[in-house]
A = this chain, B = another copy of it.
Amino acid sequence: MSHLKFDTRDWKFILHEQYDLKQLLGLKKYADFDIETLDTVADEGIKFAIDVVAPINGPGDAEGCKVADGRVTAPQGYAEAWKKLGANGWNSAIHSPEFGGQGLPLFAMMPVFEAMNGAGQAFFMYSQLTSGAAHLVENFGSEKLKKLYCEKMYTGAWGGTMCLTEPGAGSSVGDLVSTAELQPDGRYSIEGTKIYISGGDADFYGNVVHLVLARVKGDPAGIKGVSLFAVPRDWVNDDGSTGDFNHAYVESIEHKMGINGSATCQLSFGSRAPTYGYMVGEPCSGIVYMFQLMNEARIMCAVQGSAIANASFQQAVAYSKDRKQGGDVTDLGGASVEIIRHPDVRRNLMLMKGYAEGTRALIARAAWAADFSMSSDSESEKENYHNMLDLMIPIVKAYTTDKAFRTTELGIQVFGGYGYCRDYPMEQYLRDVKITSIYEGTNGIQALDLLGRKMRLKGGSLFMQYVMELSQFVEQHKAHSVLGVASETLGEAQGALGEVAFWLSSQPRAAVANTLLQATPFLELFGDVMVGHMLMQQAVLASSKLEAKLGRPSATREEREADADVAYYAGKMDVARFFVNEVVSFAKNRARAMTTGVNVANEMVW
């Protein structure tokens, strides 16, 4: 049975009402596609997620992965689903046709990525990691490497991994101690131990190509001396045939809180016998390459979060409409009613809706920007979108995943005791999604990236550009008959955000430790404002849709009950007003708390 209740309606709104796909298909790169094709592909992907991926999610969690003799066995059903995933092209939808991909725009495939992750985060990680690794080879590898590896990986015949973390080098990648040594035959001999390698192996991988960060002996210490290597599990000969085991060995797998279907491996290279690899790109450029694909990887991490938040939200709504418990508030001793009638439950659902749909809208904007930043035919448009994306990314990643976790927490509360039991999907959602706040750069690291790097990029102009956009939006809608008050609250929040940003940027360099105490609060404040903005954008559009249908930008209960579109649009207005009132309206006090100069956390002696 599928646990995934996928919200097709909200995605149709984003793809076809909020954004203009024609604009995307106007780009040279996507000239061969039409909207119908994109829709058909997306619908098939969603169906695949519901029918094939969702059913193995719960059982895969319960069974987990096994390791023996350096090889991983994934849960039952994974191998079969993986085969189908590859056969149907879902590993490579957005990747280059030159290597077996379909070259579809990221933005148009976002519903599929959400559905796949919502259906089975642990399972789909194998696909995302493999794609990511292949993409690195495609972008930075030699022609030979591309020819040898990319198609095999994009089609799912082989797997791929990203090997960054070591026992002493997690958030601080530059501290890694893995080494590489050039051999007479042009290969490198790789030695080292990597931990937390997601999808480090699987019984359905014909081979695995590990993308390994290591330091060529003699290269500089720290991040500047790190190079990237492609290290296959089984050696790949120049003619494409597979040779001997390359001694990339799975030493153990982690026992985790969640994503138990995904094998989190400790890998050793060269510990039992020599392990060889080829360098990808130029020496000492490993981190540069990683950074160039980081925006995409972080969007994908955010999609995982938002996907699980939305899955949890949809489950909670369905359960609340079904489960009867307690009398209506106006008739407390009376017959039990569906719990969706209880105000406290409705409030929980509304907050879940705000985070789930708000982060979805945020990610959609990021995906749109990513497509145009990579594929626009105009250099200035490319740059504009790249700027927008650069600023957004830490918020997209950290805010989405933290609030996704909060959403799954609320989802459990809506289910009550049932939410705590493994018979229902709610508690797995929470356990699975927790990892998204940790990997792809912990959310603490994201906050430092936002405050320490992104806010300063190009003299702070990325931030100013966003604030101007927001300010225009507020001006435009503050007299809206229904959304005016919320627009003004958003404007107040924008003011608070601006004040904090100015205050933080004017702190002396010597006070950096105190300034950085505000990194996480600043990211949260910025996220509240930006997600409020995204929801309000959708609400304004929804109000004009209602206006067109009903002659006014609001709807009665009867009108909502009579027409699903009316209910949907009115709901978009509701959730924006709710979120702005309930979350964004704290901005002023948040900002004040950040600028009072209470730095006791740095004074404490533990």
Could you tell me if A601 and B578 are in contact, using CB atoms closer than 8 angstroms?
Answer: yes
Q: Does A5 contact B (CB under 8 A)?
A: no
Could you tell me if A517 and B343 are in contact, using CB atoms closer than 8 angstroms?
Answer: yes
Residues 291-319 of chain A, each 1 if its beta carbon lies under 8 Å from chain B, else 0: 00000000000000000000000000100
Could you tell me if B347 and A601 are in contact, using CB atoms closer than 8 angstroms?
Answer: yes
Query: For window 508-529 of chain A, which residues contact chain B by CB distance below 8 Å?
Result: 512-514, 516-517, 519-521
Residues 320-359 of chain A, each 1 if its beta carbon lies under 8 Å from chain B, else 0: 1100111101100100100010111111111000000000
Could you tell me if A416 and B598 are in contact, using CB atoms closer than 8 angstroms?
Answer: no
Query: For window 570-606 of chain A, which residues contact chain B by CB distance below 8 Å?
Result: 570-571, 573-575, 577-578, 581-582, 585-590, 592-593, 596, 598, 600-606
Query: For window 450-487 of chain A, which residues contact chain B by CB distance below 8 Å?
Result: 485
Q: Can you name the residue of chain B whose Cβ is closest to the Cβ of A195?
A: B417
Could you tell me if B605 and A348 are in contact, using CB atoms closer than 8 angstroms?
Answer: no
Q: Does A181 contact B (CB under 8 A)?
A: no
Which residues of B have CB within 8 Å of A336? 168, 172, 175
Could you tell me if A520 and B257 are in contact, using CB atoms closer than 8 angstroms?
Answer: no
**Which one of B329, B350, B413, B601 contacts A343 once the chains associate, using CB atoms below 8 Å?**
B601
Could you tell me if A585 and B577 are in contact, using CB atoms closer than 8 angstroms?
Answer: no
Copies of this chain, count: 2
Q: Does A431 contact B (CB under 8 A)?
A: yes
Of listed A168, A347, A421, A586, residue having the most chain B CB within 10 A: A347
Q: Nearest chain B CB to A287's CB is how many angstroms away? A: 13
Which residues of B have CB within 8 Å of A438? 412-413, 416-417, 419-420
Could you tell me if B422 and A255 are in contact, using CB atoms closer than 8 angstroms?
Answer: yes
* Assembled-state Cα–Cα distance A209/B348 (Å): 37
Could you tell me if B417 and A437 are in contact, using CB atoms closer than 8 angstroms?
Answer: no
Which residues of B have CB within 8 Å of A602? 343, 346
Could you tell me if B593 and A585 are in contact, using CB atoms closer than 8 angstroms?
Answer: yes
Q: Can you name the residue of chain B whose Cβ is closest to the Cβ of A566?
A: B605
Q: Nearest chain B CB to A523's CB is how many angstroms away? A: 10
Could you tell me if A348 and B604 are in contact, using CB atoms closer than 8 angstroms?
Answer: no
Q: Which 5 pairs between the two chains have the least Cβ-Cβ distance?
A: A257-B427, A574-B600, A560-B605, A172-B326, A343-B516
- Enumerate 26 A-B pairs (CB-CB under 8 Å) in ascending A order: A168-B324, A168-B325, A170-B325, A170-B416, A175-B336, A255-B422, A257-B421, A330-B512, A342-B516, A343-B514, A343-B516, A344-B447, A344-B448, A344-B519, A344-B520, A345-B444, A348-B520, A350-B604, A416-B442, A420-B438, A557-B603, A560-B605, A561-B605, A570-B604, A574-B601, A582-B598
